[in-house]
Amino acid sequence: MDNSLTYARILVGKNSEYSCEICKKTFSSEYELFTHQEKIHNREKPYHCEICDKSFVSRRNLTRHKKVHNAEKPYHCEICGKFFVSNSNLRRHTGIHTGEKLFHCEICGKSFVERSKLTLHIRSHTGEKPFHCEVCGKNFVSNDHLKTHKRSHTGEKPYHCEVCGKSFVSNDYLKSHKRRHSGEKPYHCEICGKSFVDSSNLATHKKIHTGENPFHCEICGKSFIQNSHLTNHRRNHTGEKPYCCDVCGKSFVSNGHLKVHSRIHTGEKPFHCGICGKSFRENSNLTIHKRSHTGEKPYYCETCGKTFVVNSNLLRHKRTHTGEKLFHCEICGKSFTLNSNLIIHKRGHTGERPYHCEICGKFFIRNFNLLLHKRIHTGEKPYHCGICGKSFSVNSRLVDHTRRHTGERPYRCDICGKSFINNCDLKKHERTHTGGKSFE
């Protein structure tokens, strides 16, 4: 054993202990020793990496760190063939295959593959956040979270994707990103079989099945699956939009919304449909699009039994039963069932038309209107009638057309009982009762 190491492994019968050579304390695991050195001796970091200037408590930690630079991964998983920088990383990974979770939370009974994950989890019960950012005063449950956060101040993104060149603040973000290139989705929901790129997405998804919404808005009482969703929601109350577009100056409540918006300027559409090759700015739009191929409509109205491709359509539909209109225009007082409809309506007041046709130069209030307009240039009619074969550029026209075959008239006048194929025809008819005014 190298005597210059600041730790020693002591074999005692069948057990092994890890000893800190700075203070001679012993620990039952390598992780406990590492945590001890970070917390107790963290000011003493005499071992420096000449490549990136990082400092470490022990020579061994430095040696392990250097493997990140030289890509050395000597520890091999016999089940799936993956390689790892350290034995502790291999052990952590092996738990994915075996499902073995030795560490249990005494508060809620949840089990974990590693003690370190249990320690972090317990802090979700206690609210303890022992790692403090000196720049902005924010506190974090782990040192790793603090380190990643600090990069938001420095702008440092040390983890690079060799496929597309994108950079990330943490290795975890890079790993998740790489799976978007490879298509790998290793995290599976045992309830519905859906697969996910990372464990956090799976954890969020599971709450759909349990109905768990643990994060509550103290202003309006609305509940959310994720704390980040609550944070973004609160900004609707405060009006805060801290994320600003460098190109057009538009501000957004979340960095995710800004990223999606930026693709309007760059034209980037990184999400591709494997069936028809169509590309999308957002992964959520790709997911919705795929349902046009599969016919899947997972959102169900308990009142009338109707099913919908997206949850927003279900919410909009439910308000036809309740008559609820939550979103109000402060300019003219008009109310809407959806915030997205209010945003589009406001553009009628401001004259804003952010969506631009590159072929003829026309501008549009909504991206959907631009997509429909483009089909005039391309002649594309992607919606086909299964009965007579007629094609349409817009799905709503196909729906109306199909009702002519089936005789379905779902829109009914409350005054005279007459039924109509679509809501537009019903509204026109209602004006014959009101003398030209819309129903309120």
Confidence of residue 30 (pLDDT cuts 50, 70, 90): low
pLDDT of 183 > 70? The answer is: yes
Q: What is the pLDDT of residue 347?
A: 92
Q: Where are the alpha helices (DSSP H) in 274-366?
A: 283-294, 311-322, 339-350
In this prediction, residues 170-185 reach a mean pLDDT of 86
pLDDT, tens digit (0-9, with 9 covering 90-100), for 308-343: 988 888 887 888 888 888 889 999 999 887 788 899
* Burial of 309: CB neighbours in 10 Å, binned 0-12, 13-18, 19+: buried
Inform me whether the pLDDT recorded for 419 exceeds 90. Answer: yes
- Alpha helices by DSSP H, listed for 332-419, are 339-350, 367-378, 395-406
Q: What is the mean pLDDT of the chain?
A: 83
Percent of the chain at pLDDT > 90 equals: 14
Strand partners, 392: 383
Q: What is the pLDDT of residue 404?
A: 92
Can you give the pLDDT at residue 394?
85
For residues 13-29, average pLDDT: 65
**Is this structure's pTM higher than 0.75?**
no
SS3 427: helix
Cross-strand partners of 12: 15
Summarize the confidence of residues 46-56 as an average pLDDT.
76
Please name which of 376, 383, 380, 351 lies closest in space to residue 365, comparing C-alpha atoms: 351
**Nearest 5°: phi and psi at 252?**
-140, 155
pLDDT tens digits for 212-266? 888 888 888 888 888 888 888 888 888 888 989 998 888 998 888 898 899 989 9
Instruction: State percent of the chain over pLDDT 70.
Output: 89
Q: With bands split at pLDDT 50, 70 and 90, how would you rate the model's confidence at 385?
A: very high
Q: How confident is the model at residue 125 (pLDDT cuts 50, 70, 90)?
A: confident
Domains and CATH numbers, the chain: 7-70 (3.30.160), 383-434 (3.30.160.60)
Band the pLDDT of 4: cuts 50, 70, 90: very low
**Residue 395 and residue 381 in contact, taking contact as beta carbons nearer than 8 Å:** no
